[in-house]
Amino acid sequence: MWNFIKKYIVYAIIIALIYLVMPVFFQGENYRYDAIEYQFVFPATSLLCGVAYSWKRGVDFTFPLIAPIIYIGSVLIYSHFYHWAIYVFIYLIVGMLGCFIGDMVYKNNQAEKRRKEKELRRENDDYQIKITEIKIEKK
């Protein structure tokens, strides 16, 4: 269970900080910036965290659930307007898109690593001494 949590904890903390701390700055007289926050900052966070996570580990379908779950907490704490709940699905889709983009980069990195390993093996095979037959005789 700890290994499962350990994979996600850094990204969950980053998302939680942005989703739970940013609304503090946009309340009060700065309420007109809510649209920027909900339509640009939060999706960008979800996208970038999805790309960063999948860049190292490949696509994972449970990772995009982190942003909507934390966002629901943010709505319950700050907004109390449930019409903002539509963004749960938007952040889920954007997070999944980020995972797919990161997975493409991950696959390209893996293919590059395999190509370099094959090239290194070919170079090493050229210098290897191969012994095919050993005979032992009695005196």
6-39: pLDDT as tens digits: 888 888 898 888 888 887 776 666 566 667 777 8
Any domain includes 135: no
In the predicted model, is pLDDT for residue 121 greater than 70?
A: yes
Q: Which residues of 55-76 are buried (b: 16+ CB within 10 A; e: fewer)?
A: beeebbeebbebbbebbbebbe
Closest of 69, 51, 68 to residue 60, by C-alpha:
51
Question: What is the SS3 assignment for 75?
Answer: helix
Q: If you average pLDDT over every residue of the chain, what do you get?
A: 80
Number of domains in the chain: 1
Residue 97: the pLDDT is 92
Any domain includes 110: yes
Any domain includes 101: yes
Residue 71: the pLDDT is 84
Domain ranges, residue 111: 2-127
Which tokens go with 65? Answer: 């659930």
